[in-house]
Amino acid sequence: MTGSVAARVSFAESSALLRELAAVEVSVKQVERAAETLGVEIAEDERQCVERLGEIAPTMYLGMDGTGVLTVPQKLTSTYSPVVSAAEVAGRAGKQPDGTAKTREVKLVTVWTAESRDEDNKPVRDAGSITCSAAIESAAVSDTSLTRSNFAQRVLREATRRGVTEAPRCAVLGDGSAWIWNTTGELFPQAIHILDRFHAKQHLSDVGKIIHSANSEERRQWIQQRYDELDEGRIEPLLQALDQRAPEYDEARKCAEYFRHNRERIRYPEFHAQGLCTATGVVEAGCKVAIGARLKRSGMHWTESGANAIIALRGSKLSGRYEDFRERRSGSQRLAA
């Protein structure tokens, strides 16, 4: 019960819920210790158990994303909640004036299927098909290393469990970050690369708000026209509109570069003709639901080990694997006894 509630709400709220609903007195600190202990066990179980789960769909979707976990300038005594202690980011480069970091990035991989269709015969995410795995870890490898990054190994384990590499067709969605496509190229050379349309439109929206900051109607029209060009595959007019504003607005120049770099990943009419999803909200929601809703609430901070333990616990619950873990854990305990 402690693991179930602590995966969803803060340790303090978990303690109160156990008291209210089960008449069990578990202190906040006991909840924290029990939940983190379970999380550590689940993280190890995730590394060991990679057998395939469920059926392989004709098309398997895989998404990757990252979200920052905030830090605080000094070590605090409380250890639950969006932040990591200062010791966790010591020596790491960041965006602060002195070049230091205030955050650690949680990297997340999500797998789902979309064989269902809506009334317009467009693919829709299948209910209950989403699984995820995440941790504060690096996607980088040294130039001389032949070993996959920690995150690449995590991605491969989740893909193996879901049968991504065995599927007739695999599509990877991401926001354009280099580490996403580098990981995709390394692990899934056969995959179709799709720039998540939600992120693509967000870039256009941000530029439109800067260019037409003083006129809301002109802003709305400019943004909508860019959306239409993107959806209809008219990339040249879109780039021309951005290039026209580039001398005056650096954001427009960067946005044009972004779309040129990802040109092969924004062939949305072609993807739609192939029956592929281009923006399901799964990738964006993954970070918000799996990480933000639990670890980035007001006043929270974490050590790396504490954050990763709760991330593993929450990911197990959200992916429907918590009960399987408990069965394996109980079996191991019986054998040990």
Tens digits of residue pLDDT in 123-160: 999 999 999 999 999 998 765 555 789 999 999 999 99
Tokens of 215: 């006129």
Q: pLDDT digits over 273-298, tens only?
A: 999 999 878 888 888 999 999 999 98
Q: pLDDT value at position 78?
A: 43
- The pLDDT, as a whole number, for residue 134 is 97
The Cα-based distances of 97 to 13, 85, 173 in angstroms read: 36, 19, 33
The fraction of the chain above a pLDDT of 70, given in percent, is 88
Can you read off the two tokens belonging to residue 191?
């995959």
d(CA 196, CA 227): 13
Structure tokens at 333: 């305990």
Residues in the chain, pLDDT under 70:
71-102, 142-146, 334, 337
d(CA 217, CA 42): 52
26 phi, psi to nearest 5 deg: -130, 120
Length of the chain: 337
Structure tokens at 336: 């040990």
- C-alpha 103/C-alpha 291 separation (Å) is 14
Q: Which helix (H) or strand (E) holds 112?
A: strand 103-113
Q: Taking the CA atoms of 298, 303, 307 and 310 in sequence, report the sign of the dihedral they define.
A: negative
Domain ranges of the chain: 59-194+280-330, 199-265
Phi and psi at 217, nearest 5°, equal -70, -45
Say what the pLDDT of residue 101 is.
54
**Strands 103-113 and 59-71, sheet pairing:** antiparallel
Q: What is the dihedral of CA 147, 150, 156, 162, to 10 degrees?
A: 160
